[in-house]
Amino acid sequence: MSDRWDPAAFKARVDEVLREFVAVEADLLSAVDPLLGPVAGALEDAVADGKRLRAAFCYWGWRAAGQPDSHALVRAAASMELVHAAAVVHDDLIDDSPLRHGRPTAHIALREAVRRRSHADAAARSLAMLVGDLLMSLAGQLFATSGLPAAYLSRARPLWSVMARELIAGECLEILRTGTPPDTSESLKVIRYKTAKYTVEQPLLIGAALAGAGDRLRQGCSAYGLPLGEAFQLRDDLLGLFGDPARTGKANADDVRGHRPTALLAETWRLAGGGERERLSSLLGRRDLDEAGLAEIREVMRGVKAPDRIEVMIGERVDEALTVLGTLNVPAPATAALTSLAGSAAIRRS
Domain edges within the chain: 7-346
**Looking at residue 107, what is its pLDDT?**
97
Alpha-carbon gap, residue 135 to 157, rounded angstroms: 18
Q: What does pLDDT average to in each consecutive run of 10 residues of the chain (350 residues)?
A: 87 98 98 97 96 97 97 98 97 91 93 92 97 98 98 97 96 95 96 96 98 97 98 94 81 81 96 95 88 93 97 97 97 97 89
**Looking at residue 2, what is its pLDDT?**
64
Torsions phi, psi for 260 (to 5 deg) = -80, 155
Alpha-carbon gap, residue 99 to 122, rounded angstroms: 18
Class of domain 7-346: mainly alpha
Angle at CA of residue 318, ends 10 and 100, nearest 5°: 55
Model pTM score: 0.95
